[in-house]
Each structure stands twice: as structure tokens, then as C-alpha cells.
Structure 1
Amino acid sequence: MASITTPSFDRRANLSLFSRLRKAEGQADPFPIYAELRARGAISPAPWGGFLVTSFSTCDQILRGNAWLEPDTRWRERQGVSTRWGASSSREISRTLPALNPPEHTRVRRSAGNFDRTTIDRMGRRVSQVVDDLLDTVMEHLHTGEADFAALVSEELPVATIGDWLGLPRADWPRLRELTHDQVFTQELLPSASQLARSDAAMAELRAYFLHLVHERRARPGEDPVSRWIRTWDAMEPDRDKADEAVYFLVLFVLLAALETTSTLLSTMTLLLVEHPSRWSLLAAQPDLVPAFVEEALRYDPPTHVISRVAAEDCLLHGVEVRADEMVHLLVGAAHRDPAQYDRPDAFDPRRKAPHLSFSGGIHYCLGAPLARLEAQTLLHRTVTRLPRLTLARRPDRAPRVAFRRLLNLDVALA
């Protein structure tokens, strides 16, 4: 039987590391801090309770294993209303697909359908058109100076893609994008009270907006995804109000997943492209490397640096006793630089062929991964083939987050 060990560093020892992660310097480059944490072991105590996991193989094992659960609605209720898990935005997000456990997860995922090849091909034509229009706007700005690629492209492409697919009015896209950025704080690692308040307000507005949308589509159904989900849930759920709420949570999930992490992927990928001229030259000469470049960007600096799970029962993890209901934080950003998994992990190598955890794993593998890849690959290919070489005008600023990365700007100029 495996022996029980006590991590060699207590919870206070890791507190200073997380204090540094929350500062601008740590958010700009968290990887040296991750390396310090990794040196303390594959699993170490989190300052606020639970554990931190930095090993790629252990993170992968947990994501694929049945012994680890999402912190779902019932788990959050057990934590108490006075905790961050009792916030209204936390309770609301716990009812979306990524936070569900079987059998609820199985039922909802099946109702959502998949981004199959036919759907992706159809959306691909729209993505190509949107990318070309957005790059035209970038060129207009570059003729007179600099262009903020994040604002002009990375923030616009995901909302245009998913907004068009869902049939959302174009006039609503900017506000939905703002609300998406605000709601994410409830999913952050250590949200402050003010951040949770922003999440609560954003989530309330999103709920009202999308419930109204569902009611409108029920009254005037079409061939859009929302109308199809209404028909699907009407066949599954006799209570119409419950069916409408199930569709609302599906639409909410699709919007949040499609906007937040995809825009970060697009900005990070473009930053990696323009900050080193050799990378632009490589892709311009070998455009067949575009898919591999995207995958390496996902490994090198993933949009989400933390994924959390809870233990289904008492267990040992690397010899450390983890109690049932106790949370483990999978530091994906650290796991992606694990030298036990990757050769030269701190080097960006677009020729690298290696796995990553940016789309999670197991039953919770990202439903929208094909769409995110489509947008990223289309944008990268069009950028290096349509635009003259760009260069980074200045280092970007980042949002005050640890788990969900976001560039606030990406200023570029003609090289």
C-alpha cells in the first residue's frame, strides 16, 4: 500500500508565490514562479486550502480520471453561502455544461450536439470572410501608424463568429463581449469581493438577455442552434420552463466559452508571431506549419492556466492524502512547462509535436475545440499571407487575472 506523506512545504510557504502571480510582473511572465512551485513537488498545499498540481502527467491523469469531479452546484452549496462559492454568479456558472458531472453532464452534452465537419465547414466560410474584413481594418490603421490587434481582431472575430451562428443582433455584440469579460472573475482562482460583484452583475444581465432570447425563438422558431435546442429539450423535458432554462444554460455556455478563451488564444498566438521576426519568416515560407504553430501557442501560454477539480473520495495523490470533496488546482500553465514531459519546455518551437491540456481532457474535453482551432488557424494563415510583416510596438498590458489570461492590448506596427 502506498505510504502517506506530508508535503515538505506548508501552505504559508506558497503564499508569497501567489502574491507575485497577482502582480503585473507575475501576470506578464508567470513561468519562473511556476518553476519555483514545481521545485516544491508535483503536488503542494494551496495557501487557501486544497492542493496545487504542477506535473503534466498528474494533471492529465486527473482530467481523464473518474475519481475527480467538477465543483458542481451541490459541491458549492456544501461550501456555504458566505464563501466565494455562494456568490450568485458562482451558482449560475455551476449549472452550465463544463461544471456538470454525470449523469447530468452526459444528458446536457448530448443535447448540445457537436461541431461536426459540416458545421465547421459552413462556419469556416464565415470565419474567412470576417478575418479578411478585420485585417482590412488593421491595414487602414497601419497606414497612419499603429494598430491594436487585440481590439481590432482578437476581440472581434470570436463574437462575430458565434454571434452570427447563434443569430444574435450585431448591435448586441459589444455589450455581450463586455459582460463576458466581467463574468469570468467568478471562475478566477482568488477573486476579490469587488470582482465577484462585477461577475454577479454581469451574470444577472446575461441571464435576462438569453432567457428573453429563448422565449423569442420559441415564439418564432427557425433553423438556428437555439431553435434546434428548444426542439431537442422539448422532447426531453415536459416542463416548458425547465426546458427553456436548459436551453438558456446551453446558449450561455457557448457564448462564454467562445468569446473569452478564444480571444486570448488569438492575441497570444499573434504576440508570439510578431515578437520574433524569424517566426513570421518561417510561417510565410512554410504555411503548412500554421496548425502546429497554433498548437504550440496553446502549450506555451494557454488561455486558461488553472483547471480545478474535487476528489470524489479519499485518495492518495503522489503519496499525499487528499480527502473527499477537497479541491485540487491543476496549474496547466505550469504543467505545460514540465521538463519531465517536454524537451526544452521554455522554448517556443512551432515544429514541436506534443500533447497539451488547453482544451482539458476526458469527458470535459472542450466541445468548441474545433471552432477555436478553425478561428486561430484561419487568422494566422491570413495574417502572414495577406499582411506585410508586422512588429510589436510595445509589450502588452494584461488583465488582473491568474487563471484566465487576457491581453488588454496588442499594439503592432509595420516592420
Structure 2
Amino acid sequence: MGSATTPSTDRRATISLFSRLRTGDGQADPFPFYEELRARGAVSPAPWGGLLVTGYSVCEQVLRSGTWLEPDARWREQQGARTRWSAPSSREISHTLPALNPPEHTRVRRSAGTFDRGTIDRIGSRVTHIVDRLLDGVHERIQAGEADFAALVSEELPVATIGDWLRLPSADWPRLRELTHDQVFTQELLPNASQLARSDTAMAELRTYFLSLVRERRRHPGDDPVSHWIATWDQIEPDQDKADEAVYFLALFVLLAALETTSTLLSTMTLRLVEDPGRWTRLLQQPDLVPSFVEESLRHDPPTHVISRIAAQDTFLAGTAVAAGEMVHLMVGAAHRDPERYSRPDVFDPERNPSHLAFSWGIHYCLGAPLARLEAQTLLRHTITRLPRLTLVRRPAQAPRVAFRRLLNLDVALA
């Protein structure tokens, strides 16, 4: 006769599960752990407070609904001075577009503009040139043995694309990439003190860099997004310092969003390509599958595995009471393997062409989604046509994160 599960044992089990997620095995393959979590129901308590959501339909419901908010600056202030939310990097990131709620979110998003068809077409020719140059480097390197595709391409393409668009000096790109990797810990699910300290240091340097950039563009405006944002905010905000601050947060947001998650998408997509020889051949024979291959990569192992939201009012979620101000963690990585949503969810199927939550949904749908898709599709098409077939040399290592996935290497060689 079995014993009933108590809240305390359930809490200990969940803590143990997240501890295992942080191990090398958990980072390499978190999906068995997500399955264990999902077995407790679409919604379950988080040991540190709030709720964990693993069901696809419930995650989608939260993201589409206006009754769920971002953990904005006001909410973070309410959590107290001795919490992760009071860290300088957390306070700073709370002023960027993804952390804003209406009406401020509406105003800032309108000022940012969009990656419309004309903008994407203009950037597209530049992306093609960058991809070809980077793949030349891979081709040269693999002739001597093996190449790290992540270092040579996945890390380079996003920073070159956005750096060129923002007109940032190319000499600054490596440092900006390093700072982006460090700042992401303030957005992680459970950052420790040393990780938050790295984020604080990185964010302070990013603030100095971009405020200096904004002031320089104000003195010498050009035909670039930062100069255009300055002109836009001068019409919105009469206080020049506040206008410059708003432009700084826009430039910061664009850099962070463009680098971290896009580089992970490019690495993960390429991993799916080189780990199975049949996929390379299939794409060569059916190049029209390239867009769906990218979308399936985003579903199968999305760059962001956790999205957090706050209840705007007392409500219920899948029958579970949620108090106003309580946080829910949408476990997108788990939701993308929900068997109630997808048939054979663990199988990578390039013909699936799925809908997914990798770019969020609703008013916070990713502003840069068209650019990320452009980079991924261009890279995939050119990789299979310009390089001899590559094979995976060894399984890549993963950064010790839960929310933000990142491959530390992707070593390939000639098949």
C-alpha cells in the first residue's frame, strides 16, 4: 500500500529535479526531467513560490491573454531589497521593451518600429554576404580536420548582422558578445549570487557603452536606427536626457535579443542537421523544407525554455488558484514536447512545420522574429549548398542554464 504524496515531499522532489537539470546530463537532455514535471499536471507549485506550467495549451493561454503581465520595474521593487529582483542588472533590464506592460509597452514598441518587409529585404543582402564569408572560414578550417561551427558561425552571424545594422564599430563586436552572454544570468530562472554579480558588471558596461553611443549619434546623426530613434523620441519626450535614456534601452534591447537567442537557434538548428546524415540529403533534395526545418528546430529545442508572467488579478489557471502578483513560469521547453499538442513530440520532423511558443505570443511576440528567421533560413540554405556534407565530431557542451539554452561548441568535420 503506497503512501500519499505530501506537499513537502512534492517540494523536495521538484527541488531535486531542478538540481539535476543543472548538471551536465540535465543540460544535455532536459526533456526527461520535463516529462517528470509534466506528469504532475499541466500546472504545479514551484518550490520557491508561484507555479510551473508545462502544458502547451495553458502556456499559450497565458501568453495570449491580457490578464497576465511582465515582471516590470514596479513588481520587482515590491519583492524587497534582498531578492534577486533588486540586483542592479535586474532593475536595469526591467526598463527594456520585453519587461514593460501597457501603456508604456505600447508607446515604446511603436517608437521602435518593426522589421517590416522593406527592412528585412535590405538586411537580407547583407546577411547573405556575412553567411558566405563565415562559411568560407568553416570550409578552410575543416580541410585541416575539424571546425567549431558555433564559434565560427553561430556566434558571429548575429553580432555581425545587428552590429552592421546599428552601425556599431566591428572592433566592439567581440566584447559586446561577451557582455551579452554575461548579462543573461539576471534573466535566468534561479541565478546564484556570483551569476548575478557577473550580470551586474556586464550591464553596467553595456549602459556606459550605449549611452555614449546615443550621445555621439545625437551630435552626429546619420541614416541608422539609433539616429532615427533619437528623432522619434525627441517628438515624444521633451526632456532630452529622458529621451536619450529611452533610446539607450531600445538599443540595449535590440542587441541582447538579437545576439543571445539567435546564436542558440543557429547552433541548435545546425546540430539537428549534422547529427543525422539523412537530413542533409533530404534538404538538398527538398530545399523548400528549409523554413519548416527552422520552425521545427524552434519547437524541438527552443532557445528560451522558460518565460515568466505575473497574474494581474486573482484568477484560476487550469483549475489552480493564482493570486494577483503571483508569478508563473511557463516551461516552454516542456510545453513543446506536450503529447497532447504534438504527435511523437520527441521526434525531430522537418516536415512538421509546427506552431510554437519560441517567440512568445500576444503583445510581447518577439519583435526580431523576422530577423532571426532570416538569419536561420539563409544560413541553412547556404550551408547545405556551399559546404561538403558535415558530420558531428562529438556531442556539444551546454552552458549551465535552465531558461536560456546555449551550446558552448559545435565541432564538425567532413563526413
Q: What interval of TM-score do these two structures reach, taking the shorter chain for normalisation?
A: over 0.9
Instruction: Return the offset for 1:13.
Output: 2.6
Alignment of 1:277-296 (within 5 A): 277-296=277-296
Counterparts of 1:19 and 1:242 in 2: how far apart (Å)? 42
Instruction: Return the offset for 1:81.
Output: 1.4
> Which 4+ runs in 1 deviate beyond 2 A?
6-13
Hey, what does 2:69 align to over in structure 1?
69
Counterparts of 1:344 and 1:148 in 2: how far apart (Å)? 31
Identity %: 78
Amino acid at match of 1:359: F
Instruction: Return the offset for 1:321.
Output: 1.1
Whether the aligned pair in 1 keeps the contact of 2:293 and 2:353 (CA below 8 Å) is no
Hey, what does 2:354 align to over in structure 1?
354
List per-residue Cα deviations over 1:106-152 (Å, max 9, x = no partner). 00000000001010000000000000000000011001010000000
Asked if residue 111 in structure 1 is aligned to residue 107 in structure 2, the reply is no
Hey, what does 2:406 align to over in structure 1?
406
Give the CA RMSD over aligned residues: 1.0
Asked if residue 344 in structure 1 is aligned to residue 344 in structure 2, the reply is yes
Instruction: Return the offset for 1:9.
Output: 7.1
Amino acid at match of 2:130: V
Asked if residue 304 in structure 1 is aligned to residue 321 in structure 2, the reply is no
* Count of residue correspondences: 410
User: Which range moved further: 9-18 or 367-376?
Assistant: 9-18
Whether the aligned pair in 1 keeps the contact of 2:147 and 2:412 (CA below 8 Å) is yes
Hey, what does 1:58 align to over in structure 2?
58
Instruction: Return the offset for 1:7.
Output: 8.1
Whether the aligned pair in 2 keeps the contact of 1:115 and 1:367 (CA below 8 Å) is yes
Hey, what does 2:3 align to over in structure 1?
none
Whether the aligned pair in 1 keeps the contact of 2:292 and 2:354 (CA below 8 Å) is no
SS of equivalent to 2:235: helix
Whether the aligned pair in 1 keeps the contact of 2:68 and 2:312 (CA below 8 Å) is yes
List per-residue Cα deviations over 1:297-355 (Å, max 9, x = no partner). 00000000000001011111111111111100000000000000001100000000321
Counterparts of 1:75 and 1:395 in 2: how far apart (Å)? 41
Instruction: Return the offset for 1:177.
Output: 0.1
Hey, what does 2:38 align to over in structure 1?
38
Alignment of 1:373-384 (within 5 A): 373-384=373-384
Instruction: Return the offset for 1:12.
Output: 2.5
Instruction: Return the offset for 1:273.
Output: 0.3
Instruction: Note the residue ranges of structure 1 that are not aligned, 5 or more in a row.
Output: 1-5
Whether the aligned pair in 1 keeps the contact of 2:60 and 2:361 (CA below 8 Å) is yes
Instruction: Note the residue ranges of structure 2 that are not aligned, 5 or more in a row.
Output: 1-5
Whether the aligned pair in 2 keeps the contact of 1:64 and 1:361 (CA below 8 Å) is yes
Hey, what does 2:129 align to over in structure 1?
129
Hey, what does 2:21 align to over in structure 1?
21
Counterparts of 2:386 and 2:317 in 1: how far apart (Å)? 50
Whether the aligned pair in 1 keeps the contact of 2:158 and 2:263 (CA below 8 Å) is yes
List per-residue Cα deviations over 1:237-296 (Å, max 9, x = no partner). 000000000000000000000000000000000000000001111001111100000000
Counterparts of 2:330 and 2:47 in 1: how far apart (Å)? 14
Counterparts of 2:352 and 2:168 in 1: how far apart (Å)? 39
Counterparts of 2:21 and 2:84 in 1: how far apart (Å)? 20
Counterparts of 1:182 and 1:116 in 2: how far apart (Å)? 30
- TM-score, normalised relative to structure 2: 0.98
Hey, what does 1:101 align to over in structure 2?
101
Amino acid at match of 1:312: A
Hey, what does 2:162 align to over in structure 1?
162
Counterparts of 2:148 and 2:411 in 1: how far apart (Å)? 4
Instruction: Return the offset for 1:8.
Output: 11
Hey, what does 1:198 align to over in structure 2?
198
Instruction: Return the offset for 1:203.
Output: 0.0
List per-residue Cα deviations over 1:364-392 (Å, max 9, x = no partner). 00000000000000000000011100000
Hey, what does 1:81 align to over in structure 2?
81
Alignment of 1:187-226 (within 5 A): 187-226=187-226
Counterparts of 1:11 and 1:254 in 2: how far apart (Å)? 38
- After superposition, the Cα gap between the structure-2 partners of 1:9 and 1:326, relative to the gap in structure 1 and judged at 3 Å, is farther
Counterparts of 1:12 and 1:61 in 2: how far apart (Å)? 28
Whether the aligned pair in 2 keeps the contact of 1:7 and 1:43 (CA below 8 Å) is no
SS of equivalent to 2:303: coil
List per-residue Cα deviations over 1:374-414 (Å, max 9, x = no partner). 00000000000111000000010111100000000000000
Hey, what does 1:319 align to over in structure 2?
319
Whether the aligned pair in 1 keeps the contact of 2:183 and 2:200 (CA below 8 Å) is yes
Counterparts of 1:159 and 1:232 in 2: how far apart (Å)? 25
Hey, what does 1:3 align to over in structure 2?
none
Hey, what does 2:387 align to over in structure 1?
387
Counterparts of 1:370 and 1:7 in 2: how far apart (Å)? 44
Counterparts of 1:318 and 1:132 in 2: how far apart (Å)? 48
Counterparts of 2:31 and 2:152 in 1: how far apart (Å)? 28
Counterparts of 1:118 and 1:312 in 2: how far apart (Å)? 37
Amino acid at match of 1:214: V
